[in-house]
Amino acid sequence: MCHYTHLSPQERDCIATLHAEGRPIGYIAAEIGRDSSSVCHKLKRNGRHGRFRACTAQKEGG
């Protein structure tokens, strides 16, 4: 059975910070202990205009 847990606000902040620093998705995923596909999905879903906004992701549940 597949078990999914939402990203925490801290994980979203970490994604936003590392993405703004230009870190690769694999690096970001390793830092927060998540699969790179999860990070990629969040960046695509909430990364408008090339920037990921953790506060937007939290409000939208993404």
Per-residue confidence (pLDDT) for residue 32, from 0 to 100: 97
Instruction: Enumerate the β-bridge partners of residue 48.
Output: 51
Q: What is the mean pLDDT of residues 34-59?
A: 76
Closest to 16 measured CA to CA, from 7, 5, 35: 7
More confident residue, 62 or 7: 7
User: What is the pTM for the complete model shown?
Assistant: 0.74
Indicate the Cα dihedral angle 8, 14, 15, 18, nearest 10°: 180
Q: What is the pLDDT of residues 36-48, one digit of tens each?
A: 999 999 998 886 6
More confident residue, 56 or 30: 30
